Structure 1
C-alpha cells in the first residue's frame, strides 16, 4: 500500500534526522518522540484498519494469567494506543513532514474506530463480556475527548452512532469500588460531549467524582478506593481521568448551569488542578539522572505510561512552580529512551512484549496481556503541544535529580496544602 510505504519511509527519515535538521535540541527531541510513538502504535492501528487485529496481534500473557484475555486484549490495545496518541493527532494535518505523517495516522485511526465499533466487522470489539471492556471503552472515550476535531467530527453519522452504542453498552458492567469508578465517569463524559440528545447518566459521572474527592488523601495523592496504594495508578488512571472529565464539564458549563454539583466540580476545577500540579512535581522528582524510576506497585508492564500525569500537565501547560517545560521534556525523554530501547521490548514483528525493562513476562499480573501494554503511549501526550511551544522550542535543561546529584543549584521540595498560593 503506497500510503503505508510512505509513512514508513518518513519514519526512517525522522529517525535518522535526515528531515529538516535543526540545531535546537528540542526539535530533535520531538522527532524522537514522534518516531517512538509511531513505532509503538503502528502495528495496532495498521492491523485494525484492515480488520486483521484479531488475526495478527499476538496474545502474550503472564504465567498466571486469567483465562479470558483473548476476549478483551484487542480493545485494550486499541483504546490505550489511541488515548495516548490523540493529542498529537488533534494537531491535524499540515504541509510539514510531521503533519503529513499525522494525516496518515488520522486516516488509520478513523478507519480503526469504524472497524472496532461496527457489529458486522471482523474486528468488532467486545464491549460487554466481562469487566475489562469497561476499562478500555473508557480509554477509547478519553481518546475521542482529547481529539474531537480529528477523531470525532470526521466520522460518518453511522459510525458515530455505533460508537455511542458501544459506549452505552458498557453500562451493564459494574465497576469495582476503586479507580474503576472513573471509567464509568469517563464514558459518561464522552456521551455528554458527543451525544446530540445529551443522554449521559450524570449519576455515574457524579459518583465517580464524589468518591474520588472523598478519597483525596493530601499532598497531591488520591486513594485507589478508600486506601492508599503505593503504585502509579494516580498517573495511569486517576488524575488524568479526573481532569479530562472536569474539562468536559467546564466545556458544558452553560448546559450545566443548574447542575447540583456545578460549584463542586466546574467552579472548583482549580483545586483539582492544584492537586495534579503537586503530583506532577512528585513525578518529575522520581526520574533519576540515569533515566530510571522506582519499580514500585502493580502494572509495571505499562512502562512509561506511569508518567501520564506529568505528560498531561505539560500538555495543559500547567506545570508546577519551578518546573520548566524543557526539564520535563528531558526527563520524559530519559525514561522513554531507557525503557523503550531496552532489548526485547518489541518482538520480531514490532509488537510490545510483557516487561518493565525488556521482556519479563513474570512481571505481569494475571490481568496483563499484550493489549494492556499499550498504555505506555500515555507518556507521549506532550506531542499535542505544537512545535513552537516552549516545551519543544527551549534548549535542554537539567531535571531535578540531575541538578541535585550533579551538585547544581536545586529547588527544595515541600508538601502541598490547599492554602498554598504558589503557582
Structure 2
C-alpha cells in the first residue's frame, strides 16, 4: 500500500482470514469513508455550505465546485451513517445540516456560503448534478437530519431542490437527477404533480435508452461506459429499494443482475476497473453497481465474490496514490493524471467515488461482509464474452488477471453531432482497452488504433457502427465499421470506410481490417 494511505485514513490491520484476497473488511470501508470525509471537511467554509477543495477550478466555477464538495461528500456520509443505523461518531450530520441551512438562505448570491441556483444544463447545469447527491444524502439520513431540521430550513431546501425539476437536464443520465430529487421530496410528503412529471419523464427515457444485455446507452447515442453502474442502474434501483417498492425493485433489479453478468468480469485481478470511457477520476465508483447488487440481492455474484470486487477496487486505488498526503482524492487515476480528466472535472469531482460506499448499506451481519472473499471472475479460467447490445468483446486471462475490452460499439458521439477529428476522444475511439493501460498525452501516437493516411493527415475513429458480436467455448468475435475523419485537409474522403473485426481466444487476439474506397496513394 502507498506508505501514507493507511495512516492517513486510519485503516485497521488487514484481515486475511475472512478476506484472503484484499485483507479488507467492513471496518476498512468505514475507516476509509471517515478518513476521506475528515480530510475534505478541513476545506469547508465557515458555515459549512461549501467544501472549497484546493486545485484548478472546473469550467463551472469555484462556487459550483464548492457545492460539489459538499454534495458528493454528503453522499459518502449518508451511506456511512445509514449503514451504521444512525451512529455518527464524528458528528458528520450536524455539519451537513448546518451547511444545508447556510447554503439555502440566499441561493444565487455571490458570497462564501450561498449555493448557486439550479438552471438549465447549458446555462448553469452542474448544480443540478449535485442536487441529486444532496437529495439522496437527505433521504438516507432522514431520521437523524431532515426530521430534526426547522420547518423553514426544510422549506428552503425544498425550493432549492425544485430547481432541478423546473430546468432542462443534459440529454443523458442527467434526467435521473430530478428523478432522484423528486423521489426524496415524495418520500417526505412533499410530492405533487411536478415531482410526478419529473419521475415519469426520466422513466420514459430510461426505457428508451435500454439496449439489452443489462446495458443502457447514456443518452440517445451509443455511449456505453461506467455511467451504467454508477448512475443508470444505481439511481432507479436505489430509489426503489429505499421506497420499499417491490415492483420497481424487481424491474430494475433484473436489469442490474444481467448487467453484472458481463460487467463483473471487467475488473482485473489486481482490482482495477477498465480504464475506458469518461469521468474516470471517479475511480472506485466503478464498483457501485456491484455493491448495490449485493445490498439489494439483485446480483448473480456470490457475496464473497462481490466483496472481492468492491474491496479490490477500493484497495487498488488507495495503494496507488489516489489519496494524496493531504488526505484528499486527486484529479486523476492513480495519482494526478491530466489525460484522465474532462473540462467539467473540478477539485471535488473525484468524490463521485462516494457511490462505492453504497456497499455500507449492507449491515455488519450481511453476507456481503461475513462470507469469506472468493476469487473475482477475472481470476478464474480464461474467458471471452461478447456483449452484443454494447458491441463489446471482453477477454480475461487468469494467469495475469488482465482484462481487455475490444470496443466495436461504444462511442461518445450524439446522434445529431457531426464527426470531427478535432473531437476525437481517446477514452472511446480506440479498438481496445484494458485494466492495465490508459490514454497518455494527446501528443503521443495513439495505441490500439488504425489510421488511414491521406495527404499526410492521419484519420480518427469517431462514430462506431457495430456489425455484430458473439462467443463460443473460449473464443469470441466482434466487428464494426467507421468513417475515417481527418484533422487537416478535407474532413472525409468520398466512399472511404474501414471495417474491423476482432477474434479472441485465451490470451490471443487477431484483428483484421478492410479499407474500402481508399484513393490512390
Taking a change above 3 Å as real, the CA distance of residues 202 and 78 of structure 1, as seen in their structure-2 partners, is same
- Give SS of 1:298's match: coil
How far the C-alpha of 1:375 sits from its partner, in A, is 0.4
Q: CA offset at residue 390 of structure 1?
A: 1.1
Aligned: 1:119 with 2:106: yes
**Residue number among 345, 349, 353 corresponding to 1:368 in the alignment:** 345
Structure 1: which 5+ residue stretches go unaligned? 1-10, 252-265, 414-423
1:148/1:29 CA distance change after superposition, 3 Å = same
The match for 1:336 among 296, 314, 330 is: 314
1:301 and 2:301 matched: no
Contact 1:59 1:73 in 2 (8 A): no
Over the aligned positions, Cα root-mean-square deviation in angstroms equals: 3.1
Query: Greater CA deviation, 204-213 or 269-278?
Result: 269-278
- What does 1:233-272 correspond to in 2, within 5 Å? 233-247=227-241, 267=247, 269-272=249-252
SS in 1 for 2:25: helix
Other-structure match for 2:440: none
Cα separation, 2, equivalents of 1:237 and 1:389: 24
Distance 1:332 1:184, change over 3 A: same
Equivalent in the alignment of 2:75 = 83
Q: In structure 1, how many angstroms separate the alpha carbons of the residues matched to 2:99 and 2:88? A: 19
Q: CA deviation at 1:247?
A: 4.2
Is structure 2 residue 31 aligned with structure 1 residue 35? yes
Counterpart CA distance in 1 for 2:277 and 2:116 is 28
1:90 and 1:293 map into 2 onto residues whose CA distance is 27
1:186 corresponding residue in structure 2: 180
SS of structure 1 residue aligned to 2:333: coil
3-state SS in 2 of match to 1:180: helix
Contact 1:14 1:31 in 2 (8 A): no
The verdict on how the C-alpha distance between 1:271 and 1:91 changes in structure 2, with shifts beyond 3 A counting, is: closer
Distance in 2 separating the partners of 1:56 and 1:296: 29
1:72 aligns with 2:64: yes
User: What is the CA-CA distance between 1:199 and the residue it aligns to?
Assistant: 6.1
Q: 1:191 to 1:223 in 2, by over 3 A?
A: same
- For 1:387 and 1:149, the matched residues in 2 are separated by 20
Partner of 2:142: 148
TM-score by length of 1: 0.78
Aligned to 1:128: 118
1:267-416 → structure 2 map (5 Å cutoff): 267=247, 269-320=249-300, 323-343=301-321, 345-404=322-381, 406=398
Tell me how far 1:319 sits from its aligned partner.
1.9
Structure 1 residues 54 and 161, CA, compared in 2 at 3 Å: closer, same or farther?
closer
Shift of 1:293: 2.2
TM-aligned CA distance change 1:92 to 1:290, over 3 Å: closer
| Aligned mates of 2:358, 2:242 — CA distance in 1 | 18
Deviations 1:219-246 (A, max 9, x none): 0011111222132111221111121344
Shift of 1:374: 0.4
Partner of 1:256: none
| CA deviation after TM superposition for structure 1 residue 294, in Å | 1.4
The Cα of 1:218 is off from its aligned counterpart by 0.2
| Aligned-residue offset at 1:197 | 6.3
- For residues 268 and 311 of structure 1, the distance between their equivalents in structure 2, rounded to whole angstroms, comes to 19
TM-aligned CA distance change 1:374 to 1:12, over 3 Å = closer
Larger Rg over CA atoms? 2
- Which residue is equivalent to 1:109? 96
Is 1:159 paired with 2:153? yes
Q: CA deviation at 1:54?
A: 5.0
Report if aligned partners of 2:102, 2:114 keep a CA contact under 8 Å in 1.
yes
Distance 2:10 2:323 in 1: 20
Structure 2 residues without counterparts, runs of 5 or longer = 1-6, 382-396, 400-472, 475-521
CA contact under 8 A between 1:235 and 1:307: conserved in structure 2? yes
Between 1 and 2, higher relative CO (CA 8 Å, sep ≥ 6) is seen in 1
Shift in CA distance, 296/12, structure 1 to aligned 2, threshold 3 Å: closer
More helix by share: 1
Aligned CA distance change for structure 1 residues 347 and 307 (closer, same or farther; 3 Å) = same
Hey, what's the Cα distance between the residues in 2 that align with 1:374 and 1:217?
A: 29
Distance 1:348 1:234, change over 3 A: same
Give the Cα–Cα distance (whole angstroms) in 1 for the partners of residues 331 and 53 of structure 2: 14
Q: Deviations over 1:282-318 (max 9, x none)?
A: 3321111111221111111111112211111122232
Preserved contact between residue 137 and residue 167 of structure 1 (Cα < 8 Å): yes
- Count of residues in correspondence between the two structures: 372
2-structure distance, mates of 1:116, 1:340: 32
Query: For the Cα contact (< 8 Å) 2:257–2:298, is it kept in 1?
Result: yes
